[in-house]
Chains A and B, each alone.
Chain A
Amino acid sequence: MPHVDEGRLTAWLDGALAPGDPVGAEIARHLETCADCRRRLEEARELRGQTEAILAAAEAPPGRAPGFARLAARAGSGPTPDGARGPRRRRRWSVPATGLAWAASVALAVSAGWLARDLSLRRGEGAAPFAGAPAVPEPGPPGPAVREEGREPKGEALEPPTDDIAVSAARQKERGTADAGEAPAARAAPEPSAMAAVAAESDPFHAPPDPEAGRAAGAPDATGCWERESGAEGRGLPERIRLAPAARSADGTQGAADAIRGREAQGLVSEAGGGVVAHWAGFGPDSVWIGGAGPETLRMRLEGDRLAGLSRARPGKDGSPEARADTERGAAAVPVAWRRVPCEP
């Protein structure tokens, strides 16, 4: 065999060749007999170590990861005190850049301990294939998850979530970097415990598993069907939405993912019969997040049989700056509301 080329040698070193890959075996055999290539391998290994050390030198602490719920909060709303309406400016709550995204979009998630398993529009034939589906706990993840697994023979991106918290250090090893020990000491080790703490902190994704038992005492139940109030602003939002409780797995995380995936899988159809939309879950002790395909989000409050707009975040033309500013000021009133209606059969 000719000498191993640089790229393959590096791939081999990095553990990028699948275990059964004949190329890998061939390289291994070659290395046994070729001192030249062994030297090159050592050099490559050293370069890798040096590279990691150099990059680690630049590392600022990544900071605590915001809780998943807070992530939604960041996108959806600022510290608007509950009940405090923002200024009654009737502003359009879709800016041109993201108006379309909004038009096609809605996802709901609800508070404390339970999740929207399914949110569908009830309007338009064929528009709501899941509208009538009972929201029952399901053992496995729906569509996208399966598809993903099928396509990923190497399984790198889909190691089963053995634990709800995995750390990059562990990943680094799993990835196939066979030789530990040369990891630069300077590299700041992620702190699993800290991250777990953060993740668990006020994060409904880690709330108790059972959808019923998991619902916080006194937390409002927003499951059911909702119809947008006439006169309410909200161009592009669906007139009717359906919100159902989520399935949860024992560790509380898979259910959340299922719920999200479920919504992703189902998609939503706008009133106009338009596109499938985005969906993610947001939580609060008494609020419901509505996230669009764009970064815009609404926070709704459950008031009896009414879901009333609390606040919203509007993204800047190119991203988040304005959203954040907007959010921080808590300036955005949301003149949108849905009223509870009986679900159609």
Chain B
Amino acid sequence: MSEPWATIYAETWDDLVRFLDRKVWDPERARDLAQETFVRALGADPPPERPRAWLFAVASNLARDEARSALRWRSRLRRVREEERERLETRTPDLALELRERRRAVREALATLSERDREVLLLWQAGLSYGEIAAASGLAEGAVGTTLSRARRRLVGAWTQREGGEETGAARG
């Protein structure tokens, strides 16, 4: 028996949102895209054989389109709402500020990775198996380990370098 969509939905939602958030860097937008992804999944024809790999591949594309699109709908209102929400969730403005700061730092560190490395890393982080990562990214399964290894090394390198000095521009490693 394979997983029903409802189950996949329940167990993948968090990971998918986080995955998307690390691409669009807007939690609310990430949730929207996650929903969109599931809506498409439910309408997929034929149904995907590897549902989770499929979900993340579609999410990835949506995030990419989003970045490309001239129709970015991050309105000011939206941004304000987002900040408001963040503030509420983290209770104190200080923490929200800190979270934003940390997010910025992570984003910069991730930006030093090649797109493929970053993708594979985020897919792993989202809980996908090597097989699923391969299916979602188009990489050969045998190459996932090497890619992941390189991505991790690079991310940690960029992060460490950033932490070490004020200069973050030199984080490319």
Give the interface of A toward B (CB within 8 A).
5-11, 14, 16, 44, 47-48, 50-52, 54-55, 57-63, 65-66, 68, 71-72, 74-75, 105, 107, 140-141, 144-145, 147-149, 151-152, 154, 156-161, 164-168, 171-172, 175-176, 190, 195-196, 199, 205-206, 253-254, 256-258, 260-261, 264-265, 267, 276-281, 291-295, 297, 316-321, 324
Contact = CB atoms under 8 A, between A and B. Distances in A.
Given A75-B36, A144-B47, A280-B39, 13 more contacts: A7-B145, A57-B106, A62-B18, A68-B6, A72-B39, A151-B49, A154-B129, A195-B13, A257-B7, A260-B42, A277-B45, A278-B44, A318-B69
A212 to B, nearest CB: 21
A9 B145 contact: yes
Nearest to B70: A318
Nearest to A324: B32
A317 B149 CA distance: 38
6 contacts: A9-B145, A59-B21, A60-B30, A166-B10, A261-B47, A264-B46
Contacts, number: 262
A260 B43 contact: no
A321 to B, nearest CB: 4
A149 B153 CA distance: 35
A136 to B, nearest CB: 18
Give 5 closest A-B pairs by Cβ, nearest first. A257-B4, A280-B42, A7-B146, A58-B106, A11-B145
Contacts of A55: 22, 106, 121-122, 125, 155
Given A55-B125, A161-B3, A319-B62, A47 B153 contact: yes
Contact of B127 (A16, A165, A175, A316): A175
A144 B3 CA distance: 11
A299 to B, nearest CB: 14
Nearest to B130: A16
Contacts of B18: 59-60, 62
Contact of B27 (A61, A172, A199, A292): A61
A295 B45 contact: no
B36 A320 contact: yes
B132 A156 contact: yes
B81 interface: no
A51 B121 contact: yes
A141 B99 CA distance: 44
A48 B142 CA distance: 18
B155 A144 contact: no
Contacts of A165: 7, 10-11
B3 A51 contact: no
Contacts of A320: 32-33, 35-36
A295 B40 contact: yes
In this complex, the member of A6, A54, A75, A147 whose beta carbon has the largest number of chain B beta carbons within 10 angstroms is A54
B9 A58 contact: no
B14 interface: yes
Contacts of A257: 3-7
In this complex, the member of B1, B33, B105, B142 whose beta carbon has the largest number of chain A beta carbons within 10 angstroms is B1
A321 B149 contact: no
B35 A58 contact: no
B89 interface: yes
Contacts of A141: 1-2, 4
